[in-house]
């Protein structure tokens, strides 16, 4: 007769009263970090300066470009971090 060890039913499951909030917590922290990077770039970041041959200049804040990527990153993180379609 062979003996097959069985794992207890609780193995592999995270237990605790905060375990159900962990994906939402990490998603929130990631989104806050992205927008804090935009804020820091807006306050202390450089500008994109373009000068034409006639001498006119155009100045674009670099935080606009960073904010576009933070927006896209926020959408992705929110979809996977706060998604209700994942298996429980």
Give tens-digit pLDDT for 37-79: 999 999 999 999 999 999 999 999 999 999 999 999 999 999 9
The percentage of residues in the chain with a pLDDT greater than 70, rounded to a whole number, is: 70
Contacts of 57 (CB under 8 A, 6+ apart): 49, 50, 51
Give the residue extent of every domain in the chain.
19-81
**Could you tell me if 77 and 27 are in contact, meaning their C-beta atoms sit under 8 angstroms apart?**
yes
d(CA 23, CA 84): 11
């Amino acid at each position: 007769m062979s003996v097959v060890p069985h794992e207890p039913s609780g193995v592999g499951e995270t237990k605790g009263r905060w375990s159900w909030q962990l994906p939402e917590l990490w998603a929130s922290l990631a989104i806050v970090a992205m927008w804090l990077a935009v804020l820091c770039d807006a306050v202390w970041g450089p500008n994109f300066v373009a000068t034409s041959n006639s001498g006119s200049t155009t100045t674009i804040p670099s935080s606009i470009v960073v904010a576009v990527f933070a927006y896209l990153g926020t959408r992705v993180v929110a979809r996977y971090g706060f998604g209700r379609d994942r298996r429980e």
